[in-house]
Amino acid sequence: MRHQSKLPNIGTTIFSVMSGLAKEYRAINLSQGFPDFGSDQKLIDLVNNAMNSGYNQYAPMAGSFELREAISKKIQTLYNASYHPENEITITAGATQAISTILTTFIKPNDEVIIFKPAYDSYEPGVQINGGKPISVQLQAPDFKINWQEVKEKITKRTKMIIINTPHNPSGMVFSKDDMLALQKLTRDTDIIVLSDEVYEHMVYDGLLHQSASMFPDLKLRSFVVASFCKTFHNTGWRMGYCCAPKPLMALFMQVHQFNVFCVHHPTQKGIADYMKEPKHYLNLANFYQGKRDLFLKLIKDSRFRFKPSSGTYFQVLDYSKITNEYDVDYAKRLTKEFRLASIPMSVFNENNVDNKMLRFCFAKKDETLKQAAEILNKI
């Protein structure tokens, strides 16, 4: 049999490639973003309790009502925004399913979707598989600031959606209030949908505040806010995320979601709903990860790698242009094989794979792992 790919230009995601290589060479893995420490035992116990108390059949399609209520309360408290738990919040199999379902729901052939590069690698294929056309706006290192004039020039009659991501993976940049106001102004009086990927919402550093699309009333009206429990509660393997949107948008999303997954793992939802009763479980995250970022950067301050401290996410970008001129993909692979330290080359996220000699390192790791990684970087 012969079959044609629906994504002929897409290879295996860099996250699998680099984690696979790290495993093969027994390298310290700072590539794919996941913690090397465990989730809170209390949360694991709560999920176990949920299983033992019979939460083992289908949840409602949109997810456990208790969990949706907990999310609604959290958003109200943190962002002063209201989403009704009944019909404006849906629990998904990770943020990735939310993103994929949003794109399937809205993108038709030839619709244009504006994407900021470097971009998380699921956005573009998610647009293409639905026949849409990704339109890139490249952000420039090392600040990765957005030129809103350029965005304005790229908006056409066919622009269906703009995807934003704050805090931004892979750069560690966070959107300012002015960025959000500029986006709100640009999209006012249009039919453009905003997909706001906010999975690192609780990891914003140096006193900056997360600017959620939900905080800006006109923006909220056209936005899906996508969030993640996996990032927040240190269990990326659980695949638990959610999205929020005003009722008319969510009604369209639900038409697809019901046949995509129907609903996701019920006992985990119940466990997380119980765990969220204590807000400290997510509010302490910024301090926790800022400590890790600071430790990592202090340890490598005398290395030949250059950096601008990450403002958000659990990623730090390092510039190696003083060390070698090698293509970043080759260099990331060589570091893994020869120095036993895995990272992610930034070019794979850029328009035309532009190589700025930068690698992304994940600092969601035990202090001892960060120390071992720093020792390697300092030797280079």
List residues binding ligand GLN (CB under 6 A): 15, 32-33, 169
Pick between residue 90 and residue 97 the one whose CB is nearest to ligand GLN. Answer: 97
Pick between residue 15 and residue 25 the one whose CB is nearest to ligand GLN. Answer: 15
Residue type for position 273: A
> Cα dihedral sign for 20, 22, 28, 30?
negative
DSSP 96-137: HHHHHHHHHHH--TT-EEEEEES--TTHHHHHHTTT-EEEEE
CB of 296 to ligand GLN, least distance (A): 16
CB of 29 to ligand GLN, least distance (A): 11
Pick between residue 83 and residue 296 the one whose CB is nearest to ligand GLN. Answer: 296
Using CA atoms, how far residue 6 sits from 97, 131, 319, in Å, is 18, 9, 35
Pick between residue 72 and residue 169 the one whose CB is nearest to ligand GLN. Answer: 169
**Token pair recorded at residue 14:** 């860099």
CB of 94 to ligand GLN, least distance (A): 8
Query: Can you tell me the distance from the alpha carbon of 248 to that of 234, in angstroms, rounded to the nearest whole number?
Result: 33
Within 8 A by CB and 6+ apart from 73, the residues are none
CB of 3 to ligand GLN, least distance (A): 24
CB of 24 to ligand GLN, least distance (A): 17
CB of 358 to ligand GLN, least distance (A): 15
> b/e map of 2-18 (b: 16 or more CB within 10 Å)?
eeeeeeeeeeeebbebb
Query: Can you tell me the distance from the alpha carbon of 254 to that of 260, in angstroms, rounded to the nearest whole number?
Result: 9
User: Which single residue is written with the structure tokens 């109200």?
Assistant: 76
**Vertex 330, ends 325 and 333: CA angle to 5°?**
130
CB of 124 to ligand GLN, least distance (A): 14
Q: What is the CA radius of gyration of the chain?
A: 20
Pick between residue 97 and residue 184 the one whose CB is nearest to ligand GLN. Answer: 97
Coil/strand/helix, residue 194 = strand
Pick between residue 119 and residue 374 the one whose CB is nearest to ligand GLN. Answer: 119
Pick between residue 32 and residue 336 the one whose CB is nearest to ligand GLN. Answer: 32
CB of 58 to ligand GLN, least distance (A): 26
Pick between residue 187 and residue 347 the one whose CB is nearest to ligand GLN. Answer: 347
In this structure, the number of other CB atoms found within 10 A of the CB of residue 229 comes to 27
